[in-house]
Structure 1
Amino acid sequence: MFWGALALGLVLPWLGGAFISAHRSAFPADGAKTGGRLSEGDRVNINVSLKNRFFYPRFFHSVKFASTLAGPHEAERRFFVAQLPSSSTLLLESTAEVYMRGLHHLGPVILESSAPFGLFRRRRTLAGPQTMLVLPRVYPLNRLTLVDGQDSQSDKTRVSRSGLNLAGSRPYVPGDSPRMVHWRNTARAGRMMVKETEDESDKTLHIMFDSGDVWGEGRDTNFEYAIKLAVTVADYALKNGVPVRVWGSHLNGAGVASGASAGGPLDVALTWNELLESLAIARPAGRVAVGEGLASLPTAANLFIVVSANDETAHQDLRRALVRSRESIVVRLEGFGEPATNRDAGNSPEMAGASVLTCGPGGLARTLSEIENMGQWDGSGAFIATTGKTSTGAVIQ
């Protein structure tokens, strides 16, 4: 009797898993709204279709697979199947909220059977692994002075005889045309100065985010916040016909143009969808990209940059770049566990001429609201600064 039960406990789990196949599908819960693309914070349906190809019903199976979509606290999906009727198909449905951007992995679909006594367990792989690309979340933004104020900026700019905007002056270097000598500033400076010009048709918004040291955990890190801010600002600019150039991680000045700005001076390297996909897989890659971006920033350019509060190197590069920029917004990320710095970079001299905001964990919505309100009158009659030294949305009376 004992040996018979032992043999039955060994054979039945093996037979129970035979002639069963599976197909897994994963898709956004609101596919029509998202266009079939999956972004951080979206709901995703993950379904497994089990098919019994045998004329006999099956009992007491479990189906499981590993998944990183729902975050580190829900790393496995498991279903219990009490009965799978003969020659039939059973749909196992589940829904999850996508935890964060990135390339996520769904492990193989594994069928387990230990019926009837639980003495032996058989595992079968019914479907192979899958990968899913999750795009960074784009937050709604209703206003951005770096984009909305470009027409008024162009109206106020002086134009040279060559048709280019006069953006200032700089010291003479060999090779400069004598026609470009700025005689008034030469007399003031006591050395030869030449005019600096800009192309009025180039309204590119330069977007940079720090991809150096990462502080924080999971999706609440300074790097993840930097990507969310960068992609949200890029989305607003492109929707309003302003091309962007993005620096950070592996993006070294990638140009993206909307339909309204196509054919301009920007050398377009990526489409909007390609930029989203690039940011989806972006990883910390040091400060090289931002450093190069700041060093090559054109004269009188508009700049949106996100840096860590304790990144002294980025602040030094900013000091040199802001002298050449037209209008800049600097978002400092702090409170993510980074080492403290003795200097208040938001009120330091190198930030002169820039609007400086501070964003910490959980403060993304507030920071975006402050960006929207720049250049508007608040309820107390104060004007929220568009330029000048500000911190956490401070107002200039």
Structure 2
Amino acid sequence: MGITARGAGLLAAAALLLGAGLRFAYPELTLLGAAAALAVGYALATAAWRPRLAVSRHADPDRVTRGEAATMTLTVRNAGRLRSANLLAEDRCGTTTVPVPLLRLRPGRDTEVRYDVPTSRRGVVPVGPLRVTRRDPLGLVCLARPYGGTVPVWVHPRVHPLTATPTGAGRSLDGRVDGVPHGSITFDSLREYVVGDELRRVHWRTSARVGELMVRENVDTSLPRLVVLLDNRAAAHPDRVDGVAESFESACEAAASVVTAAHRADLPVTLLLVAPEASGLPDTDPPTGSPDTTAPADAPTALPGGGGPLDRLAAVELATGDGAAALRTATSRLRQDRLGDTLVVLTGPGGRADLGLVGALRGAYPSVVVGVLGAREPSAAPATGPVVLDAADGAAFAAEWDGIRRW
């Protein structure tokens, strides 16, 4: 509860008038002081009344690509039974506020407001809560309370169509990609039997030892496996335009394009970040039925339409700190785990000096492609090293990607 400057002045005047009237026996001053004190008390009681409001909001859609339209529908209902609500309210939408008219909102009635959510920048736009302000008629006390929760709107990076896809280190006897769901070439692991599994895949020796049916899981070594490493170090993207690293935004677009192209081609893909993740995720629970956005950054990709790595790419932010140590840790992990056979590294102009660390991964990954986003001049790369693509933005990266002749 906040007392305005007018209310503070009137309260001080009330104290002075009452003190002077009682001290010098002036009933007129005492009467004026008492009236001023009663006015402040009335203002406090008026502003302290808390209206019963039910607030709900719905984003349509709640996941959009950068630049697409998104509309927020806010519904405010007066859940009280006796008094009408005549309030001043505004809804928070990202860094801006939207006025919400609540004039003479009768009991049991509701009002609906629609407005556009800004989607010009990639990120997670938190919408809400509704802020309702109560004032007394004299303007002595002002009280603001939040109503309702916060709903995030996910603004994904732009996805540029890619026509080329890596072929991988192995080759299928029937073509470039084998479509066998569980694979049929190399043993990978054992798991518990579930209804529908073929009995010929049961590993009877292990089943007899553990006391329950265990099934062999195989992998298809001819199926290409992509690993996308996004360089989210602040040192790799030193240039800023109005506080925004455009090269990093382009790198996010390139990562989204590669991940989406791999999904459409039914290729396994893994998304990794160089530095420990610093995300802009809001402190709210995801809507019912939405994908789990708290999964690790290297979790298998789940697309499209809402969730998975596109949500993560919408929320990821640049990470400060020891960028060189973070890159050494990331490359060491990639070398030890060998998560795939095609590695795609997306960095900025500041990452050119670290191409040697990336090139050393050729022993673990037969095919390594490095995308330098925001590049103004070609990057030097040895003839036997990784394929280096210099691109000014995400669209230029897509054109360079489709022109790759060797993986």
Give the shorter-chain TM-score range: 0.5 to 0.7
Q: Give the 3 Å change call, closer, same or farther, for CA 114–125 of structure 1 in structure 2.
A: closer
Conserved in 2, the CA contact under 8 Å of 1:53 and 1:88?
Answer: no
Q: Give the 3 Å change call, closer, same or farther, for CA 327–110 of structure 1 in structure 2.
A: same
Q: Aligned partners of 2:48 and 2:77: how far apart in 1?
A: 11
What is the one-letter code of the residue matched to 2:391? T
Conserved in 1, the CA contact under 8 Å of 2:169 and 2:224?
Answer: no
What is the one-letter code of the residue matched to 2:166? L
Q: What per-residue deviation string (whole Å, max 9, x for no partner) do you get for residues 241-276 of structure 1?
A: 11112221448xxxxxxxxxxxxxxxx943514434
Q: Give the 3 Å change call, closer, same or farther, for CA 287–129 of structure 1 in structure 2.
A: farther
Match of 1:28 among 50, 53, 59: 59
Asked if residue 63 in structure 1 is aligned to residue 82 in structure 2, the reply is: no
Larger radius of gyration: 2
CA drift at 1:132: 2.3
Asked if residue 51 in structure 1 is aligned to residue 78 in structure 2, the reply is: yes
The residue correspondences of 1:286-305 to structure 2 (distance < 5 A) are 286-288=326-328, 290-292=330-332, 295-296=335-336, 301-305=341-345
Match of 1:347 among 380, 383, 386: 380
Q: Give the 3 Å change call, closer, same or farther, for CA 223–140 of structure 1 in structure 2.
A: closer
Task: Provide the identity percentage.
Answer: 13
Asked if residue 242 in structure 1 is aligned to residue 262 in structure 2, the reply is: no
CA drift at 1:137: 2.9
Q: Aligned partners of 2:331 and 2:353: how far apart in 1?
A: 8
Q: Secondary structure of 2:346's match?
A: strand
Match of 1:11 in 2: 42
Match of 2:316 in 1: 282
Conserved in 2, the CA contact under 8 Å of 1:28 and 1:38?
Answer: no
What's the C-alpha RMSD, in Å, of the aligned pairs? Answer: 4.3
Match of 1:122 in 2: 142
Conserved in 2, the CA contact under 8 Å of 1:50 and 1:90?
Answer: yes
What is the one-letter code of the residue matched to 1:364? G
Conserved in 2, the CA contact under 8 Å of 1:355 and 1:386?
Answer: no
Match of 1:207 in 2: 228
User: Using CA pairs below 8 Å that are at least 6 residues apart, which structure has the higher relative contact order?
Assistant: 2
What is the one-letter code of the residue matched to 1:20? P
Q: Aligned partners of 1:146 and 1:239: how far apart in 2?
A: 13
Q: Aligned partners of 2:158 and 2:170: how far apart in 1?
A: 23
Q: Aligned partners of 2:159 and 2:267: how far apart in 1?
A: 18
Q: Give the 3 Å change call, closer, same or farther, for CA 150–99 of structure 1 in structure 2.
A: farther
Q: Give the 3 Å change call, closer, same or farther, for CA 288–345 of structure 1 in structure 2.
A: farther
Asked if residue 357 in structure 1 is aligned to residue 390 in structure 2, the reply is: yes
Q: Give the 3 Å change call, closer, same or farther, for CA 240–280 of structure 1 in structure 2.
A: same
Conserved in 2, the CA contact under 8 Å of 1:319 and 1:351?
Answer: no
Q: Secondary structure of 1:346's match?
A: coil
Match of 1:367 in 2: 397
Match of 1:307 in 2: 347
Conserved in 2, the CA contact under 8 Å of 1:67 and 1:77?
Answer: yes
Matched positions, count: 300
Match of 1:320 in 2: 360
Segments of structure 2 that go 5 or more residues without pairing to the other structure are 1-30, 177-184, 187-219, 278-297, 320-325
Q: Aligned partners of 1:154 and 1:319: how far apart in 2?
A: 32
Conserved in 2, the CA contact under 8 Å of 1:17 and 1:112?
Answer: no
Match of 2:248 among 217, 223, 227: 223
TM-score by length of 1: 0.59
CA drift at 1:149: 11
Match of 2:113 among 92, 97, 103: 92
Q: Give the 3 Å change call, closer, same or farther, for CA 226–50 of structure 1 in structure 2.
A: same
TM-score by length of 2: 0.58
Q: Secondary structure of 1:146's match?
A: coil
